Structure 1
Amino acid sequence: MTAPTVLAADRLELGEGIRWTDGRAVLTDILTGRLLAAPADPGAPLALITRLPCPLGAVAPVEGSPGHWIAAAGTGICRIDPAGGVDWIARPEDGAPVAMRMNDGVADPHGRFWAGSMAYDTTEDAGSLYRLDREGRVTRVLRNVTIPNGPAFTADGTVMYLADSARGIIRRYPVDPVGGDPGTPEPFVTLGSGSPDGMTTDIEGCLWTAVWGTGQVHRYRPDGSLDRIVDLPAGQPAGLCLGGPDGRTLLVTSAHIGLPVPSPLDGAVFAVRVDVPGVPAAPYRPAVPAVPASADRADTP
């Protein structure tokens, strides 16, 4: 494992949602609504892909449609085209009792897209987890999450890890591979300090998580034991993925939001070489024909 290097000249307000796809790293600066790409030259700024007039939490590429993205944005889930046009699939958090926004999200190995919501003021239990099926249906599958981050999936898509950052806990859920419904969760890791944030898995089935407030990234074995800690020169690591040509580059976003006196590297994007590779970001795989609809099936506490 190498020392962290800085990937671009920019400093992000709330860097999140980093994914390795199509041979490059893409990421979001949530509250500015920007989708960005890491530059080939580490001294160059991040390249703007598009900017939305609302918060942008995370994206997944759309299989078979280059330049198209499924996004957790604003109060719901949308499709972004190569020109930056937005087609809203569902906005389930419109009209919520408190002001809400989407946060992190990811596509699973079966081609579905999952995204969490949270209150701007982090109202306890206001958040939910939503699933966009391949057929275009958006379903609320979990309620009563305060700040959902992740999720992350095992390679076969039958296990989902979801962080509730405000509670310092990562839970592990069995997932029905056919219908995509999550089963009864079990606690996986509870942190003594800091908050679990963005997550990803590697080919050994270990879970990596950024730990907000500690300047660290942790790797956990499948049994929940801590395998290693990566120290970063930024206090608020937020999103991460494994990428690079061989999948062995740990890419980590960070944030300077809320810091009274940010350090020079708060908000930077970092790269660290590791031993065990991950896999490129899974795409959203739309079924043909798509039948847009929405549902609310959040029966799980």
Structure 2
Amino acid sequence: MTATVPPAVLGTDRLELGEGIRWTDGRAVLTDILSGRLLAAADGPASPHTVVAQLPFPLGAVAPVEGCPGHWIAAAGTGICRIDPAGRAEWIARPEDDAPVPMRMNDGVADPHGRFWAGSMAYDTTADAGSLYRLDRDGRVTRVLRDVTIPNGPAFTADGTVMYLADSARGVIRRYPVDPASGDLGTPETFVTVAEGSPDGMTTDSEGGLWTAVWGTGQAHRYLPDGSLDRIVDLPAGQPAGLCLGGPDGRTLLVTSAHIGLAAPGPLDGAVFAVRVDVPGKPAAAYRPADRADTP
């Protein structure tokens, strides 16, 4: 159940809060949230990551925009914006501007039907201050969930009819039915409660397995669709934060980590890791504006 091959280290950078890693257009991109940087991951251990964009506010995660190379939809600052190839940000909505406590966006992802979903959280992790938002293909932004403390993910099944969302502060991953036509969520059920550490970034694979980085444990876990723990990957960093499946065959598990909050970070805290796995995943889904074709 536990991986025995040591993970490879990608790049010389050690990120403060590395998250939001996605495999897209033949490469991995990721964020260093609080520094506002969108990075392309290094191919090996000897070079730094490449800066794709530098924003003057936190950057949680991005999704590519279908048919628009170099454009991204981003969970950033207090809302959702579009980033162009020059790194300029155009706001779509900033729903957390007037929140009673200072807020920022955290994780986010596009679903198989072309919508973008992103969560918000309080800087001081105030309980229940966070929300989950959905950017529809027509550009409308809707708050779909309230009373989440630290939302991470979401992650979707291949057909987009199931969404997994972690509330990291509570150590729980919930599973929601999704109406594929409207994006409306049904009644959730608890999928997994993590006994140690906090579930963080997530992704699904071609067999319906769910991978999650487990913050505070130095591990990534794979769960089967029935919620049973299938595999553990040990990592030489205490705070794994985000992950995806990528590489030419989709069988490379890429994991970000963070050194924020550590009194004495180790040499690999904040590094990006690569581990070979058996079951592949797909490249990141794209945000698909309403004028694009309707086929997922």
TM bin (shorter chain): over 0.9
Among 8, 15, 39, which residue is 1:5 paired with?
A: 8
Matched, 1:191 2:228: no
Matched, 1:286 2:286: no
For each residue in 1:226-254, what CA deviation from the matched residue of structure 2 results, as whole angstroms up to 9, or x when unmatched?
00100000000000000000000000000
Matched residues in 1 for 2:8 and 2:43: separation?
Answer: 14
- Hey, what does 2:275 align to over in structure 1? 272
- Hey, what does 1:151 align to over in structure 2? 154
Matched residues in 2 for 1:42 and 1:243: separation?
Answer: 17
- Hey, what does 2:210 align to over in structure 1? 207
For each residue in 1:68-108, what CA deviation from the matched residue of structure 2 results, as whole angstroms up to 9, or x when unmatched?
00000000000000001111000000010000000000000
- Hey, what does 1:123 align to over in structure 2? 126
- Hey, what does 2:145 align to over in structure 1? 142
Q: Secondary structure at the match of 1:102?
A: strand
Matched residues in 2 for 1:39 and 1:122: separation?
Answer: 31
Matched, 1:74 2:77: yes
Q: Secondary structure at the match of 1:166?
A: helix
Please list, as runs of the form range in 1=range in 2, the aligned pairs for 1:85-104 lying within 5 A after superposition. 85-104=88-107
Matched residues in 1 for 2:176 and 2:265: separation?
Answer: 36
Among 21, 24, 44, which residue is 2:27 paired with?
A: 24
Q: Secondary structure at the match of 1:25?
A: strand
Alpha-carbon contact 2:151-2:167 (below 8 Å) kept:
yes
Q: CA deviation at 1:288?
A: 2.3
- Hey, what does 1:299 align to over in structure 2? none
Matched, 1:228 2:231: yes
Q: CA deviation at 1:38?
A: 1.1
Matched, 1:182 2:212: no
Q: Residue 14 of structure 1 aligns to which amino acid in structure 2?
A: L
Matched, 1:164 2:180: no
Matched residues in 1 for 2:235 and 2:90: separation?
Answer: 38
For each residue in 1:251-275, what CA deviation from the matched residue of structure 2 results, as whole angstroms up to 9, or x when unmatched?
0000000000000000000000001
Matched residues in 1 for 2:271 and 2:87: separation?
Answer: 25
Matched residues in 2 for 1:48 and 1:126: separation?
Answer: 31
Q: CA deviation at 1:200?
A: 0.1
Matched residues in 1 for 2:270 and 2:129: separation?
Answer: 27
- Hey, what does 2:110 align to over in structure 1? 107
Matched residues in 1 for 2:291 and 2:156: separation?
Answer: 24
Q: Residue 119 of structure 2 aligns to which amino acid in structure 1?
A: G
**TM-score, normalisation: structure 2:** 0.97
- Hey, what does 1:45 align to over in structure 2? 48
Alpha-carbon contact 2:9-2:44 (below 8 Å) kept:
no
For each residue in 1:151-175, what CA deviation from the matched residue of structure 2 results, as whole angstroms up to 9, or x when unmatched?
0000000000000000000000000
Alpha-carbon contact 2:201-2:243 (below 8 Å) kept:
yes
Q: Secondary structure at the match of 2:169?
A: helix
Q: Aligned-pair RMSD on alpha carbons?
A: 0.8
Q: Residue 177 of structure 2 aligns to which amino acid in structure 1?
A: P
Q: Secondary structure at the match of 1:31?
A: helix
Q: Secondary structure at the match of 1:71?
A: strand
Matched residues in 2 for 1:94 and 1:130: separation?
Answer: 14
List gaps (5 residues or longer) in structure 1.
Answer: 290-301
Matched residues in 1 for 2:90 and 2:259: separation?
Answer: 31
For each residue in 1:101-133, what CA deviation from the matched residue of structure 2 results, as whole angstroms up to 9, or x when unmatched?
000000000000000000000000000000000
List gaps (5 residues or longer) in structure 2.
Answer: none
Q: Residue 263 of structure 1 aligns to which amino acid in structure 2?
A: G
